[in-house]
Amino acid sequence: MNSLNEITEFIKGRDNFVILTHIYPDGDTLGSAYALCRALRTLKKNANVLIHGDLADKYSYLEKDMKEQVFDCETVVTVDIASPSLMGDFREEYEDKIDVCIDHHAANDMNARMKYVDADAASNCENIYRLIELLDIEIDPALADCIYTGICTDTGCFKFTNVTPDTMRIAAKLMECGCRSAEINRVMFDTKSLARINIEREVLNTLRFYADNKIAVVYTTRDMEKRAGAVDQDLEGIAAIPRQIEGVCTGVTLKEKGDNYYRISVRTNGDHDASMICGKLGGGGHFAAAGCSVNGTLEEAIKAIVRACVEELGR
Ligand SMILES: [Mn+2]
C-alpha cells in the first residue's frame, strides 16, 4: 500500500495516462475515471478513459466537451476495480502493466506498482477527490459533477450505512464548486425507463402473500418482459420490491429464465437468514440477500421457495 502523497508525486512525474474502469460500469468507476482524466488534462497531461461498451445516456455529461486524445500509453491507472476478473476486456492487455490502483474495496487483490485502497471511503470518488486536492487542481463544475456522481450512486443517494461525515463534507465542497447535485440525483434515482415502469406494473399484479402476510412473492415471466419491452437493465433491483411492503419479513422474486426454470431472489429484513432459505434449494448468498434456481412450473417453484421461507420464519 502507498500513501496518496506518494501516488500524487508519482503521477506528477508521469504522462500519457490510460484510466481503466470495471465491467458493468457504475457511477463510481465512471465518475472516478472521468474526474481523474479531467484533472490530469488540467495539468496539461494526456489522458483517456477506457470503458466497457458505450457510455449510457444518463452518464453522458461525465464526458461532456472531452475528446479522445491520441498518444502512446505510458501510465495505466485503475479506478474502483477490486479484482483482475473485473477488468473484463482490458485484462489481457493491461493486467501486468498497472502503475496505479485506486480503490475502496477491502478485498482488493489487484497487482499494481502503486496501490491506494481506503475501505472506509463510501465511494472511490472520495479517494479521487483527495488525490485531486493533493494535485492542487481547482475543481470546476464539470469535474465536481463527475466526483459527485460516484459519491451519490455508491451511497444510494446518501442513504446507506457506508456514508461518513467525510462523505458529507466532500459532497458539500462539491456543491460549493458548482456541481449540479439535484439534477444528478434526479437522473440517478428518480428517473426510470418506460420499460421499467411497464414491468413494475406487471410485477405488482403478481403479488401474493403467505404466512400471515410476512412473506411476499412476485414474479416475472419472459412474456411479461417482452410485453414491457424490458431488457436485463430494466429488471435491476426488481427483487427489492416485495421487501418494501410494511410488515413483510421475507420478499421473494422469481424470474422465469427458461422452460420450467426459475431464478429466485430472496430479501429479508435482517431477522431471517436469506442464505439459509436459498441454501435449502441449492443456492446461497448473504444474510439479507440470497438467490437460488429451481426447475419446475411456476406454481411448483413458488411452493418450494415459500416452504423454505416458512421453515426459516419458524426457526
Ligand atoms: Mn465503488
Same domain, 178 and 205: no
Same domain, 292 and 241: yes
- Which tens digit of pLDDT belongs to each residue from 57-114? 999 999 999 999 999 999 999 999 999 999 999 999 999 999 999 999 999 999 999 9
Burial code (b: 16+ CB inside 10 Å, e: under 16) for 173-211 equals bbeebebbbeebbeebeeeeeebbebbbebbeebeeebe
**pLDDT at res. 118:** 97
Last residue of a domain, one of 142, 167, 189: 189
Checking if the pLDDT of 43 tops 90, the result is yes
Last residue of a domain, one of 173, 189, 205: 189
State in Å: Cα 139 to ligand 1 middle: 21
Same domain, 306 and 173: no
Domain count, the chain: 2
**The domain containing residue 136 runs over which residues?**
4-189
For residue 136, the 8-state DSSP code is T
Same domain, 106 and 145: yes
For residue 244 the three cell numbers come to 418494501
DSSP helix/strand/coil, 73: coil
Query: pLDDT grade, residue 24 (50/70/90)?
Result: confident
Block residue for cell numbers 468507476: 29
Mean pLDDT score across all residues of the chain: 96
Among 120-129, 201-210, 233-242, 296-305, the minimum mean pLDDT is found in 233-242
Same domain, 216 and 122: no
Last residue of a domain, one of 171, 189, 207: 189
Q: What is the CATH number of the domain that holds 289?
A: 3.10.310.30
State in Å: Cα 288 to ligand 1 middle: 20
Nearest to 128 by CA among 40, 67, 26, 13: 40
Same domain, 145 and 228: no
**pTM attached to this predicted model:** 0.86
**Can you tell me the mean pLDDT for 249-270?**
95
**Residue pair 117/1 in contact by the 8 Å Cβ criterion:** yes
**pLDDT at res. 236:** 85
Q: Give the count of alpha carbons within 13 A of 280, CB side only.
A: 15
Same domain, 87 and 8: yes
Output Rg (C-alpha) for the chain, integer angstroms: 22
**pLDDT at res. 83:** 95
State in Å: Cα 203 to ligand 1 middle: 30
Checking if the pLDDT of 285 tops 90, the result is no
Same domain, 138 and 54: yes
**pLDDT at res. 232:** 83
**Residue pair 8/126 in contact by the 8 Å Cβ criterion:** no
State in Å: Cα 22 to ligand 1 middle: 10
For residue 111 the three cell numbers come to 497487482
Same domain, 256 and 233: yes
